[in-house]
Homo-oligomer: A and B are copies of this chain.
């Protein structure tokens, strides 16, 4: 609890007005005053500052309410652009993104086995290319990284697959590019992107579950991301679900990540390929090794019974974890992201069914589970969402 000063009040009110213009664009000064309960002179004063910053411009006139027609104010979606990076995968992605979360340009650079410093260099190359592609002012760089991330300091505490330990990514990129940088965990970023860019209604709390090469959650409660006491919140991939199961890279046996990832799915699909000549996937690939996620998805959509049973097993484990999550947090909105989001509503129905079986009925019934809005881009957008929140107060 800190003292409230007049400067803080001004800053607070400035952000309040910018948010109203962002949300209700185009909008008149009088309407802003009505909605914000600020006085018309205060509104005019603060609007001037936003116009001078280029974030807002006057745009036409609204209908008259008796007197002169009011000038309307519009938010400039492309006043500046944001760089968003998705480092969650073996393909590093980067994009120029406008202030509404529209992707203007995207670049993909394959990691090709790089780890440690070489992976950091790839991040720099990605940013360098994006900076050279941009012809507008840049808000900054928003990074969504795999691993455990100290969001407040902007460094990656640990990312096992990249062999990163205590990599000060924020510092490194700020030094190189002279732009503001935020660094967040990929699931947290994706959750914030769903919240910022993809929602239709007034959802204030949501959980996004990424099911890809790992399983993790981004948790947003009453608009606030939950990082945990040591940035470990959302590490649900390491709850043991099969005590006698496969050895996990964390040292335990039978973690959720050993039974419900893309790797597990492909591995089990390859077994089907070799053992079940009547499975649809056999027609899709020349050999088990060449089998892709897209082949498996095709077979699932065509209701291949062998592939369906694999997804029922994976979805069952996820559904049980969601039951524990829903009983604990009573969050009404759950989104599935990551590679397995490609399995769509059929996969959600499987998850949902186990959730219903293993969770208090009234809570389960109130809960909506769905595939996240833009599965391919959601993590990329997440970096930008953090920038929008931190630098402009718009999320």
Judged by a CB distance under 8 angstroms, whether A174 is at the interface is no
Chain B residues contacting A226 (CB-CB under 8 Å) are 221, 329
Instruction: Identify the closest chain B residue to A216 (Cβ).
Output: B327
Question: Are B240 and A36 in contact (CB-based, < 8 A)?
Answer: no
Q: For A19, A37, A235, A237, which residue has the most chain B Cβ atoms within 10 angstroms? A: A235
Min CB distance A183 to B, Å, is: 18
Stretch with Cβ within 8 A of B (4 or more), from A53-61, A163-171, A360-368: A360-368
Q: Is A219 an interface residue (CB 8 A)?
A: yes
The answer on a CB contact under 8 Å between B360 and A250 is: yes
Task: Mark contacts of A215-236 with chain B using CB atoms, 8 A cut-off: 1 yes-contact digit, 0 otherwise.
Answer: 0010101101011111111111
Within 8 A of B (CB), among A4-23: 4, 8-9, 12-13, 15-16, 19
Q: Which of A83-91, A260-268, A318-326 contacts B (4 or more CB under 8 A)?
A: A318-326
Give the complex CA separation of A243 and B361 in angstroms. 15
The 8 Å CB contact of A328, one of B3, B12, B36, B219, is B219
Cα A327 to Cα B228 in complex, Å, equals 9
**How far apart are A179's CB and chain B's nearest CB, in angstroms?**
27
Contact of A235 among B3, B37, B252, B327 (CB under 8 A): B327
When distances are taken between beta carbons in the complex, the residues of chain B under 8 Å from A222 are 224
| In the assembled complex, A385 has its CB within 8 A of some CB on chain B | no
Separation of A8 and B5 alpha carbons in the complex (Å):
11
Instruction: Establish whether residues A235 and B360, one from each chain, have CB atoms under 8 Å apart when the complex forms.
Output: yes
Q: With the chains together, A163 CA to B303 CA distance in Å?
A: 47
With A9-B4, A36-B3, A252-B358 already in contact, the answer to whether A328 and B366 are too (CB < 8 A) is no
Are A13 and B3 in contact, CB atoms less than 8 angstroms apart?
yes
A217 surroundings in chain B (CB, below 8 A): 328
Residues of B within 8 A of A229 (CB): 205, 330-332, 366
Looking at the assembled complex, report how far the CB atom of A244 sits from the nearest CB atom of chain B, in whole angstroms. 12
Q: Nearest Cβ distance between residue A2 and chain B, in whole angstroms?
A: 8
Pick the residue among B12, B13, B224, B331 that contacts A228 (CB under 8 A). Answer: B331
Residues of chain A having any CB pair with chain B under 8 Å: 1-4, 8-9, 12-13, 15-16, 19, 36-38, 205, 217, 219, 221-222, 224, 226-240, 243, 250-252, 320-321, 323-325, 327-332, 357-363, 366
A-B contact pairs, 22 of them (CB 8 A): A2-B16, A2-B37, A217-B328, A219-B328, A219-B329, A228-B329, A232-B327, A232-B330, A232-B363, A234-B330, A235-B363, A236-B328, A237-B327, A238-B327, A239-B324, A239-B358, A239-B359, A240-B357, A250-B360, A252-B357, A252-B360, A325-B328
